[in-house]
Structure 1
Amino acid sequence: MIDKDTFDAIVVGGGAAGMMAAVTAAERGKAVLLIEKNDKLGRKICITGKGRCNVTNHCEPRTVIESTPGNGRFLYSAVHAFPPQETMRFFESLGVPLKTERGNRVFPVSDNAHDIADALVRRLKVLRVPVVQGNVRIVTAESGAVTGVETDSKAYHAPAVLLACGGASYPGTGSNGDGARLAAALGHTVTPLRPSLVALESSDPDCPAMQGLSLRNCGVMVLDNKKKKPIYTDFGELLFTHFGLSGPTVLSASAHMRDMAPGRYTVVLDLKPALTEEQLDARLLRDLEKNKNRNFGNALDELLPQKMIPVVVRRSGIPPEEKCNTVTRAQRAALLGVLKRFSVEISGFAPLSGAIVTAGGVSVKEIDPKTMQSKRISGLYFAGEIIDVDAYTGGFNLQIAFSTGYVAGQNL
């Protein structure tokens, strides 16, 4: 508990956007109060990038906007005001050296996400920003303007309140949709919250049959069966799970799969992307000749992981007991088709609670993109994942949090 109860601004939410906003406002000389319901700040930061924290993407503002399929245009002013280069400069000035990896992804040199969260916390302490733990209710005057917040134990007064409560993914970190509910209660339009950068569910029994199998070099293509065209292609790591598909390529693909419905999307895998169909056919001929006296079902050990062999054999239509020297050209073509076009029909997204990012949130039509202030409620601001913007993987979502947090902090 703190003695003071009146501030220039109150920030609700101690994640990436909230801490950046509080730091920015305090550096302007504003008296800022930060309220976080968890006992620690930055809990979600600490689990991002598998604990390494993909801080940003070393790119131009235009690339951030183009990498944000969910309302990217809204971010034009914010990302130009605080671009990736400023994010990098900011953390390095706080004593966190950074490095750039494949895809221009930026990480702390230590590969420790706690370094990013700790740097923000240290800066808040230097700026003497008090932190209070608790849940809040927004208080408004009869005119509709914000006048402060109430926690379970005390009321705090301020002419400006920022909601930076996150989305609804990883609720264990405190990101459970509270911010969206607060905004809706104040009359804001909230686009339904849904998962983005999330694993995919499939009713195909071949997925649980290969549960735990990770393919490191796999071609991935997503077909939109409604539009009858591919909407995403990638190459990299993929994981079969008991419920469907996961892994980096799948998480990236999910951000492109809008208006999800059972049967709408099919993921097509190229199990041998380094080989053309002609090269793969020649490889199959050699393997079949090498194992000519063996049963077909026992002849694919050098071609495929063990868990995948029974699935591929069944999909090829070639009887597993057939001798390799009797496999016909047509059968070989069927096998090649399975290897180059291994399809998995998608039934839906995995639950929102396990998504890296929440899509949906407070409508961007009701937020001033130059200040992050509500167009409906005077003195109310938004930043971060609570806003209806979502981007691809690669550090873009954290950059959005830092950019919108910075702009809100400049205007609180």
Structure 2
Amino acid sequence: MNKSVPILIVGGGSAGLMAALAAGRIGVPALILEKGSEPGRKLAITGGGRGNFTSMKLPDQSAFCLEENADKLLRPLSNALPPAEIRRVFAELGVSSYVDEEGRVYPKTNQAADLVEALRRGVLTSGGQIAHNQNVVKIESDGAGWVVSTDTAEYYADSVIVASGGASYPQTGSSGDSQRFFRSLDLRCRDFTPALAPLLLQKPFSPELEGISLPDAALTYRIKGRRKALDIVRRGAMLWQKRGLSGPLILNSSADFYDKDHFINGSLRLNFLPDYSLETFADVLRSYGAENPRHSVVRFLKTKLPNRLAAYLWQDCVEASSCPETLTFANLSKQMVVTVSDILFDYPLEPAQAPPLRVAMASRGGLAPSELNLRTMAVKSRPGLYAVGECVDFDFISGGWHLTFAFQSAWLAGQAAARETKI
């Protein structure tokens, strides 16, 4: 079967659906080729199924992007469709939303599936179509336009928007196909690696710590360079798991230490009390000890950290110094203060292998932004070709920013492709 369409979109996820909606809004219908039996499968599970689809924490997402020059690069996207406008688009589609205390935006129904259905309905109402079970195997130019081949058909289009996602959660259809498409066209892209993923450790903490959360900690990732080291420091909440660590701090740092160029040469150190400096902590110890000389040191640590964590770290101190477990402040030496400080402020972590992409919430990698005109998401060297969403190499922290970028980039591409169509 051969079919000719003005705009063809590869992938029916959040970006693909939004691109088709944007094109339809200005009168040009698009055809979506969806790999699976239904669109928006990853969107349907976002935010634990509640649907955190953008954030109102700041006017734009550049502060939450982990790339250099993010403000300059992302300004065209945030100007075209800021988070407030994303909410308005969904409101017009019948999905009202609310903002939680962290600025995250959810449907009032707390059902991510409502976002998918609203987009699907909007695409069809505007004249667009969704073809299911269409596995795209090749994208190539025929000189006049684009030819997209699936297992069963060939499609001809004036414009093609690649919205096939990254490589996380492959069970939802995001299996990294875009990388193959881009490389076949001699476009620069980076291998996909896990992002927003847990940290698996070679020597996990005690199982007794599983489920403990720490509201604030600091993680330093040191990358060894030829001349000097680079320290990447992030702060946030953390959660202990069976095989390692998770929580916002770990998820938002994971793209750094799972980047294959850095993983081998990097080291991780954890600071359990980032509000203190070594000097102020030593002062607090001395002051507390002067007032409570008969109190045990572990009793003091339990005033600063969760009880089980304090006991676990104190045991490390005992093993490192051979001091008694019941050591009191009356017998606390200067050397012991150094030992305690080293463990609390500079705790070494040894990462195990990177977790599989199937458990990562997002992936890092994809088409280099330098290949794109970020005002339209058009590939500079391939007229009529666009790339949007997670298949583009931008990396964001958690909280709705990956989806914000997906919607913004798709909106720009859908409208640009519609304006350039030959119809």
For the aligned pair, the TM-score class normalised by the smaller chain equals 0.7 to 0.9
Q: Alpha-carbon deviations, 1:171-229, whole Å to 9, x = none?
A: 111111011111211222222222222222332x2535556242232322314253556
Aligned partner of 1:153 in structure 2 is 152
Structure 1 position 334, deviation (Å): 4.6
Structure 1 position 250, deviation (Å): 0.8
Do structure 1's residue 370 and structure 2's residue 370 form an aligned pair? no
Aligned partner of 2:85 in structure 1 is 86
Structure 1 position 78, deviation (Å): 2.4
Q: Alpha-carbon deviations, 1:125-159, whole Å to 9, x = none?
A: 3224221121013454543x543322222222221
Farther-moved stretch of structure 1 (170-179 vs 271-280): 271-280
Q: Does the aligned pair in 1 maintain the 2:138–2:150 contact within 8 Å?
A: no
- Aligned with residue 345 of structure 1, among 342, 345, 349: 349
Q: How does 1:11-160 map to 2 (within 5 A)?
A: 11-58=9-56, 63-70=60-67, 72=70, 73-133=72-132, 134-143=134-143, 145-160=144-159
Q: Alpha-carbon deviations, 1:80-117, whole Å to 9, x = none?
A: 11121211111122222222234422222333222222
TM-score for the superposition, normalised by structure 2 = 0.83
Q: Does the aligned pair in 1 maintain the 2:27–2:126 contact within 8 Å?
A: no
Structure 1 position 402, deviation (Å): 0.5
Identity of aligned residues (%): 28
Unaligned runs of 5+ in 1: none
Instruction: Measure the CA separation in 2 of the matches of 1:264 and 1:159.
Output: 46
Aligned partner of 1:309 in structure 2 is 311
Change (3 A) 1:322 1:406: closer
Farther-moved stretch of structure 1 (146-155 vs 36-45): 146-155
The number of aligned residues is 402
Letter in 1 for 2:317: R
Instruction: Measure the CA separation in 2 of the matches of 1:108 and 1:192.
Output: 34
Q: Does the aligned pair in 2 maintain the 1:139–1:146 contact within 8 Å?
A: no
Instruction: Measure the CA separation in 1 of the matches of 2:180 and 2:206.
Output: 37
Change (3 A) 1:60 1:225: closer
Instruction: Measure the CA separation in 1 of the matches of 2:414 and 2:325.
Output: 70
Instruction: Measure the CA separation in 1 of the matches of 2:177 and 2:187.
Output: 14
Aligned partner of 2:407 in structure 1 is 402
Aligned partner of 1:232 in structure 2 is 233
Structure 1 position 37, deviation (Å): 0.8
- Aligned with residue 264 of structure 1, among 263, 266, 285: 266
Instruction: Measure the CA separation in 2 of the matches of 1:319 and 1:341.
Output: 20
The CA RMSD over aligned residues, in Å, is 3.2
Farther-moved stretch of structure 1 (277-286 vs 88-97): 277-286
Instruction: Measure the CA separation in 1 of the matches of 2:200 and 2:175.
Output: 22
Q: Alpha-carbon deviations, 1:308-364, whole Å to 9, x = none?
A: 634531334354755445743346525641563151334364333322222211122
Q: Does the aligned pair in 2 maintain the 1:210–1:308 contact within 8 Å?
A: no
Aligned partner of 1:190 in structure 2 is 189
Q: How does 1:246-395 map to 2 (within 5 A)?
A: 246-255=246-255, 257=257, 259-262=261-264, 264-270=266-272, 277=281, 278-279=283-284, 289=294, 304-306=306-308, 309-316=311-318, 317=320, 319=322, 322-325=325-328, 327-330=331-334, 333-334=337-338, 336-337=340-341, 340-341=344-345, 343-347=347-351, 349-395=354-400
Letter in 2 for 1:231: I
Structure 1 position 285, deviation (Å): 7.7
Structure 1 position 280, deviation (Å): 5.4
Unaligned runs of 5+ in 2: 418-423
Q: Does the aligned pair in 2 maintain the 1:24–1:406 contact within 8 Å?
A: yes
Aligned partner of 2:3 in structure 1 is 5
Q: Does the aligned pair in 2 maintain the 1:33–1:131 contact within 8 Å?
A: yes
Letter in 2 for 1:20: M
Structure 1 position 298, deviation (Å): 10
Change (3 A) 1:140 1:373: same
SS of the residue corresponding to residue 23 of structure 2 reads helix
Instruction: Measure the CA separation in 1 of the matches of 2:313 and 2:214.
Output: 18
Instruction: Measure the CA separation in 2 of the matches of 1:306 and 1:210.
Output: 8
Q: Alpha-carbon deviations, 1:17-41, whole Å to 9, x = none?
A: 1100011111221131111111121
